[in-house]
Structure 1
Amino acid sequence: MKLASYADGSRDGHLVVVSRDLTQAHYATGIATRLQQVLDDWGFLAPQLEDLAVQLNHGKLRHAFAFEPEKCVAPLPRAYGWAVVDVEGSVRREAGQFQGPHQPLRAPAACEPALAVITGDLAAASDAAAALDALRLLTLAVDWRLDGDLIATHCAPLAVTPDELGEAWGGGRLQARLVALHNGAKLDPRDVAAVPGDALARLARLRALRAGQLAGVSLGALELPLAPGDSLRLDLKSADGQHSLFGAIDLDLAPPPALP
């Protein structure tokens, strides 16, 4: 299933189920209003959301509406934590505050996309197999760093279960293509691979993870000469580049403030 959180004036947004082709959505109000509720009671609530998704995909929901990514906040705006395992295997732990896919970036910064894993409860010292079993949802996240300090993390609009990824997912491994547009010009696509179970197990070596923790597998920094007024669109697609897996992060770099 594909899930998103619509902006509604609250801190967490309102949970919606999104159709497989990303054209339709339906509020999950009768089941849960926030994604964290689902993560806290996954075994009971997730099957109900799956049933709702099946009905949505078959056009059987009277109150479905057109899905608008521009209305999304991050799927889980206030996670219990955010940690990224970089390409060298080291771990960076950060606060779990996430911005939506269209919220402007306030300053030029270094760009590092990551495959983000939303996990259920995971005991300390769990192995990769147990960690993979605790994986609930996947999405795309992008860290922005200025002089090494994290200044913002943006998330794609959709958080999806692994079974929705089709041929992009197999044996606990994601194989995909990162596609970027800078000021409308397409950059060279990057083929990426990530094994999130290994990353989760690394994070859980010394401490337990609770439902609602986000863990990222770095996809490598992007070298981009960003400037105020620029636009950047990042999309993690199937290996053939045809299908968006999580929807795009499509943001503008805020222009400098006007002089008085």
Structure 2
Amino acid sequence: MKLASLRGPGRDGTLVVVRRDGAVFTPAPAEFPTMQAALDRWDESEPRLRDLASRLERGEIPGEPLDPQKLAPPLPRAYEWVDGSAYINHIILVRKARGAEPPETLRTDPLVYQGGSSVLLGPREDIVLHDARWGLDFEAEICVILGDVPLGTKKEDAHRHVRLLCLANDVTLRNLVPGELAKGFGFFQSKPATAFSPFAVTPDELGASFRDGRVHLKLVSTYNGALIGDPEAGPEMHFSFFDLVEHITKTRAFGAGTILGSGTVSNVDRARGISCLAERRMIETIDEGAPKTPFMKPGDTIAIEMRGEDGLDIFGRIEQKVVSP
């Protein structure tokens, strides 16, 4: 099942059910006007939404043409946006880039931060760069959207709480990161609004590609019209989404409508490219002594997408352009 949120009439948008090819949609039942309303009553909404999706797929009900420009993020505002860093290769490279050593618990204790969730970007919204000196970077990620998750949830039970999956561009201002982390209190100004894919899908839409809490497909990033990375998202995700759920619920519960990110998808094999510019800059530093690739500037574009084994575009395409204020 594929879901999306149209912009308006209120801040939380209007929930719609989308055909698998992403071309047409039908409104969700009136009882579930928004994605959050559906998540809050998932036991009731899920079968109703699935029935609509099946009827739409079979052509039993009419569908309206879908314009991605009119889409908000699947969750226009979320109760929480928690981002992990589950790919060891990415951690090592970006730490080297800022002259920091990886933590001693690199392989045993996940890294997570809590981002801003009241203002999220839709899949076609521009990235406004207020100061080029901040070092704008994209980060291509996979996310899960959770239902209610109790405190102390174990990874063996985490799958029960995964409602949907989507993609994200976790925008980062790289040159603000070192100063913030030096304070010992984490990211804040260096993490502006995150953008999300047009569609959020139920795990069964990925079939066997979603297993062991990982998505075993390529995440494709196109920068300024050219392929810049297509890493395999599954094998090198050291901490699965189920591991991350266990980690974040150690001391507190989470409400339905929490988004949990994988962190930047990254492979050791350089042939798979990169999912953020910081990695390319670090590789250039290792090979040539200094970075050559600049950070993003007005006019630059980034697109992020993922296709299934059947070639179908699963989540729709994030397409963003960097603009001046």
Q: Is the TM-score greater than 0.5?
A: yes
For structure 1, the residue ranges without an aligned partner over 5 or more in a row are none
Q: Which whole-Å CA distance do the structure 2 matches of 1:169 and 1:190 have between them?
A: 16
Specify the alignment match of 1:210 in structure 2.
255
Q: Which whole-Å CA distance do the structure 2 matches of 1:236 and 1:201 have between them?
A: 26
Specify the alignment match of 1:137 in structure 2.
164
Specify the alignment match of 2:285 in structure 1.
none
Q: Does 1:102 align with 2:98?
A: no
Specify the alignment match of 2:39 in structure 1.
39
Q: TM-score, normalised by structure 1?
A: 0.92
Aligned residues: 254
The one-letter amino acid paired with 1:95 is G
- For the aligned residue pairs, the C-alpha RMSD in angstroms reads 1.7
Specify the alignment match of 1:66 in structure 2.
65
Specify the alignment match of 2:306 in structure 1.
236
Please tell me whether the aligned partners of residues 5 and 73 of structure 1 are also in contact (alpha carbons under 8 angstroms).
yes
2:201 to 141, 152, 160: 160
Can you list the C-alpha shifts for 1:144-174, whole angstroms capped at 9, x where unaligned? 1112210120000101100011232134321
1:9 Cα offset (Å): 4.1
Please tell me whether the aligned partners of residues 175 and 239 of structure 1 are also in contact (alpha carbons under 8 angstroms).
no
Specify the alignment match of 2:78 in structure 1.
79
Which protein is bigger by CA-based radius of gyration? Answer: 2
Q: Which whole-Å CA distance do the structure 2 matches of 1:188 and 1:239 have between them?
A: 18
For structure 2, the residue ranges without an aligned partner over 5 or more in a row are 87-105, 130-134, 178-189, 267-274, 278-292
Specify the alignment match of 1:222 in structure 2.
276
Q: Which whole-Å CA distance do the structure 1 matches of 2:128 and 2:37 have between them?
A: 31
Higher strand share: 1
The one-letter amino acid paired with 2:45 is L
Q: Which whole-Å CA distance do the structure 1 matches of 2:17 and 2:60 have between them?
A: 13
Q: Which whole-Å CA distance do the structure 2 matches of 1:151 and 1:95 have between them?
A: 8
Specify the alignment match of 1:4 in structure 2.
4
Please tell me whether the aligned partners of residues 214 and 233 of structure 2 are also in contact (alpha carbons under 8 angstroms).
no
Can you list the C-alpha shifts for 1:91-130, whole angstroms capped at 9, x where unaligned? 1112213110011001261222221111011111110122
Q: TM-score, normalised by structure 2?
A: 0.74
Pair 1:67–1:167, CA change in 2 (3 A): farther
Higher helix share: 2
Can you list the C-alpha shifts for 1:25-72, whole angstroms capped at 9, x where unaligned? 10114341100001111001111000000000001113x111222211
Q: Which whole-Å CA distance do the structure 2 matches of 1:177 and 1:20 have between them?
A: 19
